[in-house]
Chain A
Amino acid sequence: MALPEMKIVGLDNEAAQKEIRSRNMQSILTGRADYVNDRKMAGMLWATTKHATISHGTVKKVDASKALALPGVKAVFTYDDITAGTGAAAMFPQKTVLYWGAPVAVIVADDWYTAERAINLVNVEYDVLPAVVKTTDVVGDDGVAVENAPLSGRLADTNYANSMPAERGDVAAGLKASAYTKTYNLPWTTTHQHAPIEQYTAFAYWIEDDVYVYLSTQNIHGHRTIIRNRLQIPLNKIHCFNHYCGGGHGQRLNNEEAAMVAAISRKLGGVPVMWRCSKKHSMLLAGRQHDDKGIFTMGCDKDGKIVALDCEYWTTNYGATITPIISATFTIPNLKWVGHGTYLNQPDRCAWRCVNDPPTAVHLTMAMDDMAEHYNMNPYEFRKKNIMGEHDLDQDTGNPFCTKEVNECMETVVEKSGYLSKWHKPGTKTLSNGRLHGIGLHAHHDSHGRVNGNDRGAVVLMTPDGTILTENGGSKPHNAPTEMNIIVAEVLGAKVTDVNCGDYGNTDVTLNGGMHGGSSFTGSCGAAFYSAAMDLKKKLFTYAITREPFAAEGAKVEDLDSKDSVIFMTKKPDVKATFANIMATAQPMAGVGVGWHAQQNATATVNAGLQREKDGFPVGHKAEWGSAAASVTEVEVDPETGEVFITGHWNSVGCGRVIYKDGVLQQMGSGSELQYAQALYYGDIHDPATGAIIGTQYTESQLPTTLDIDPTTNYLYPVEGDDHSGPLGAHGIGEPCVGSYASILAAIYNAIGKWVDPDHGACNPDRVLKALGKA
């Protein structure tokens, strides 16, 4: 059976795409979308969390007597309570406190506010241990280590998790042979703010020994497995759901919370329990601050071509991975990278959107812009000299990948913004309004968006009238289902308006798969739906040839094709039947397609190869990187207050093949805006003295408002290329479009002539003033 030809037509598909926006959007608009908290059951109880007020130690004693005496409080559960009678130690609440704000008890009451009021009536005693809360305390030969193993991945006898070295060529020789070398001691940046609008929440009830769990997450299958492990009940008795889920990125809910809420409900006799976080508790559980720092030594030849790059890198992320920024954007023949993920007494997760790449992009931008000055080039010229060419191969594996995209993205934003005519030497242009003008550029190839992403499962069902339902294990935002519907329609040769989103986010009816969300969704889920649709198509054609009019022609499967929900013989197009005709008499199995995409490997440095055969269809290509991104930002800086005003932002992202244009534009726009927020606004989280999380309100998280961001000067340019690694030529773009943090900082540098030290935070006015020597 011939592979369908996947033409790059996404950008022309506008009218069809508006027509088939999934119904999920109207659900949201009319207030009918069911998020986890949007339910009530008779006898439902509410639960909240008692949090630790130390950064490191163990719970010695919990006295809940005063809380239990409060009218309306039903129960208080500790680590011991939940661990007893379950298959494994409870992870929520905890007995070993590893970060300030960790959960140490769960309070259940008939009203959420009553549960909240009981928090300070639960008295907890601790054995306090020394805490390590600052990355700066970990780094270096005299860095301290933290007692007690973290939840995962600490290297023995160090405070590092996942040091990920990579090497190419001979960096010592390369630096020696360089005409000019410089070492850059790059400042601590930060990534994302962890302040979703929907707080973390989960809901569970039991019917006999079946548990029903509603979770504010994108990873219901993962939670189902954890519940099985903790409560030791079979998977087919655990029903996990997520229909609508607030943003705030990553998998949101921790697996442990799902297990906790199921366990508590069971202990209360199966009564429905709605566990909800206050704004503060959401922050406490997910307030890991990803500070990043690098020390880069760069060596170039006499013409400004990079010969060698020696990097040491630290981050409070668990894994400091080498990113394609270093490896797949610029030609660097000799490279040494040592990346340390550091372990601290900080929350074990955060709500991230692209953890590693923006800070690395910032650091590389700083080094390159400085190096460019040495060679009397502007930043664009320096990058042009070093950026990988359109047909270059991966420097480590020799495999091809979408190098064209990062070139095209960079050229696009440079052209559209007028960068070359606007650029000036740093700190040399004052406007008539007294402000300082600046323009900055960045380009990088991101580690996200790659097809490889995660394991994904997809189910496609054709009903007896020939209309189609898609089923997926993730939640129901509307961009993703719309996109998947388009893919299925194209592969099946169906009318796109005949494809509808079924019951996403239901472990009972969807194939097990990894976290369904994020930047790898398009490529990996798309690949899963591709293979599910191919599976269905094969079955449908196999049945169709037994029916008229095809039987009379003696047609074989390979003689058939389909378009607009009509099956026809390629050589005799008048011999045709609609999907409805065929399905009206078909066995139900003719209309079931099941698809799977397997994650090949997670490590960006090793390309094990994606080329593989599945059911006789060759899919994928050996190399794959994520998506490319480039941006130009133009700013005005008020030198008297340090305020930065973004007057223009041009963002270009490599999309592989654009399948759902409105979805792409929305992601790009929001990615840009997120970067305004990260670069200029995101606020304080930690108390410098104790490591306690103190920035627990939005007034401290500092998400910018519509008065802070003017989206009319945010210009978006999706670029299409063919990603060889996916069957569709598509890959994700959710994360890469958040790379523009780098061009904003570069623009500020261009304006004031000094790099602002983000100091683990954002370039707020006070930090800009510090750079200007005025504070």
Chain B
Amino acid sequence: MDNLVHVNAGSLDDAVAQLAKGGAEVCAGGTDLMSSLKGFISDNLPTTIVNIKQISGLSYIKEDGGMLKIGALTTLDEIANSSVVASKCAALAQAAAVVASPEIRNVGTIGGNICQRPRCIYYRNEYNDFNCARKGGKGGCYALTGLSRYHSIFGLVNGCMAVCPSDTAPVLVAAGAKIVTTKKTWEAADFFKIKGEKINSLDADEIVTEIQVPTGKKSCYKKFAFRKSFDFPLVSCAVVGDKVVLGGVYNSPYEVSGDTVKATSATAYNKYKEQIANTLIKRAKADVK
């Protein structure tokens, strides 16, 4: 972390310009960024941190023409406790409320939650002792030959078995949300396709500015993890209207057709996810608000 440079962007244009220089990433809440940096988990970590928290106009929750619009810098705690979000898209408030821990939610933002790095036990291993395919390394996928307990039950993508760890991601996909960036407006399902290390397809100089969530549908988010705090979802289920999307089971949020799923590529370690997924689908559908 020596020679790490921290700059404060005065505006989004300023931030984009910094990113365009290369070797830079935005810092919103900074929770994932800071721990990734201190863990030296990858050779692809930034050397310039672009702080965007002092750019005004990026933190808000409002309803606008049948859409719930949330600024990218809105914290997860604000979303979890927002009566507006609870009434317009209950699943999003429920998902935000179970991310990590209270302290993380006090600084973590929705923008950051959908731009994080994966949590695979090998990918995340500090000092980059497992330089795997996801990081562009030569190690292949260590989970495939090792411990795949937390990994995808629907196969690999780009040689990677890690799952999408975001709690809000499956909700956004199920809701048919749009994600507005400094470059374009994404459909959530396209946004979460994997391009590089992160859990989305953004360019290196692209910044999320707003989430737009259609309202008017009953919804529910159920999370399964071994612990009820701190843990990323092993399996999660977002139901919005008649759309059912699973988290924690695939590289990106997994859309379900029908009432149940069948794992297409489970290992002895992670076969349990299928049972959990089907249980959560049933329970989420029964609990929509």
Contacts and interface: CB of A to CB of B under 8 A. Distances in A.
Contact of A119 (B40, B125, B229, B276): B40
Contacts of B149: 684, 766
A708 B128 CA distance: 31
A704 B146 CA distance: 25
Contact of A116 (B40, B121, B229): B40
B127 A280 contact: yes
Contacts of A415: none
B229 A696 contact: no
A176 interface: no
A694 B127 contact: no
Contact of A681 (B121, B226, B271): B226
B227 A688 contact: no
A683 B234 CA distance: 14
A688 B146 contact: yes
A367 B180 CA distance: 61
B279 interface: yes
B228 interface: yes
Nearest to A704: B227
A640 B126 contact: no
A774 B275 contact: yes
A707 B229 contact: yes
A500 interface: no
Contact-size category for A: 35 or more
A290 B2 CA distance: 38
Contacts of B288: none
Interface string A672-695: 000000000101100111101011
A699 B147 contact: no
A55 B1 CA distance: 28
B226 A113 contact: no
A687 B142 contact: yes
A279 B41 CA distance: 13
A702 B227 contact: yes
Contact-size category for B: 35 or more
Contact of B2 (A51, A72, A642, A699): A72
B230 A705 contact: yes
Contact of A775 (B142, B229, B275): B275
Contact of B128 (A120, A681, A683, A690): A120
B119 interface: yes
B272 interface: yes
A255 interface: no
A573 to B, nearest CB: 61
B145 interface: yes
B146 A705 contact: no
Given A705-B227, A775-B271, A696 B126 contact: yes
Interface string A409-421: 0000000000000
B146 A690 contact: yes
A770 interface: yes
Nearest to A695: B121
Contact of A699 (B146, B224, B230, B271): B230
Nearest to B3: A71
Contacts of B122: 687, 694
Contacts of A278: 126
A113 B1 contact: yes
Interface in B27-50: 38-40
B121 A694 contact: yes
A281 B283 CA distance: 41
Given A681-B227, A689-B142, A705-B229, A71 B125 contact: no
B124 interface: yes
Nearest to B278: A640
A14 interface: no
B129 interface: yes
B272 A699 contact: no
B128 A113 contact: no
A70 B2 contact: yes
Nearest to A115: B2
A699 B129 CA distance: 18
B232 interface: yes
A12 to B, nearest CB: 39
Contacts of B276: 641, 765, 769
A117 B47 CA distance: 12
Given A70-B2, A119-B127, A681-B226, A774 B146 contact: no
Q: Can you list the 3 inter-chain pairs with the closest CB atoms, starting with the nearest?
A: A775-B272, A707-B228, A766-B272
Interface of B: 1-2, 38-40, 101, 119, 121-122, 124-130, 142, 145-147, 149, 224, 226-232, 270-272, 274-276, 279
Given A683-B226, A694-B130, 7 more contacts: A641-B279, A687-B142, A689-B145, A697-B126, A699-B230, A702-B231, A765-B224
